[in-house]
């Protein structure tokens, strides 16, 4: 199953069923090592030592991305709301983009919704929607239990 996305004006909504309980999904969104493992999706890599997390309203998280062609960029976000393990809200201060990550328990894992508002014009594209879907699909792969019952750290070579 792949993440589903929909665009409405300056909003992008992505949904994905994840193979892990909400607490584990929350940890993936708030742990520097896990963020590095999935954030780039299929279109970029994230050096683990570039990720910083200050998990509190007003705190920041930041990371570097590296595209296949070698281009790099720094992403920085400011937490607006932190409600474990249900909801994270954070803003990108340069553009005003607001992202709400909502986790809901499901019988076989977690239903994840990522709702982005105030998308700048350059992110109101199919390519941006595909990029967000790719990130959620990489997260699902990162959370997938492995042969030892999920006790070891999942590996994502992206």
CATH architecture of structural domain 4-143 = 2-Layer Sandwich (3.30)
Q: Compute the 3-state secondary structure of the chain and give helix, strand, coil in percent, each to the nearest 5.
A: 25, 35, 40
pLDDT for 151 equals 39
What local confidence, expressed as pLDDT, does residue 146 receive? Answer: 66
| pLDDT in the model for residue 155 | 38
Domain boundaries, the chain: 4-143
State the pLDDT at residue 158: 35
One-character DSSP codes across 34-55: HHHHHTTTTT-B--GGG-EE--
Mean pLDDT by 10 residues, the chain (158 residues): 94 97 97 96 94 98 95 96 98 96 96 97 94 96 67 38
Extract the runs of DSSP E, i.e. beta strands, from the chain. Answer: 4-8, 11-18, 52-53, 60-66, 72-83, 87-91, 98-106, 109-117
């Amino acid at each position: 199953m792949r993440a589903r996305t929909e665009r409405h004006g300056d909003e992008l909504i992505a949904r994905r069923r994840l193979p892990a309980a909400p607490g584990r999904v929350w940890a993936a969104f708030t742990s520097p090592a896990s963020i590095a493992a999935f954030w780039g999706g299929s279109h970029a890599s994230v050096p683990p030592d570039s990720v910083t997390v200050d998990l509190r309203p007003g705190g920041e998280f930041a990371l570097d991305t590296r595209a296949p062609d070698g281009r790099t960029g720094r992403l920085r976000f400011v937490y607006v709301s932190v409600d474990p393990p249900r909801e994270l809200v954070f803003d990108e201060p340069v553009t005003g983009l607001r992202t709400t990550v909502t986790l809901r328990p499901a019988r076989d894992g977690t239903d994840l919704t990522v709702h982005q508002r105030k998308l700048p014009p350059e992110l109101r594209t199919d390519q941006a929607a595909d990029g967000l879907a790719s990130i959620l699909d990489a997260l699902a792969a990162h959370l997938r239990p492995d042969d030892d019952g999920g006790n070891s750290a999942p590996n994502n070579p992206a």
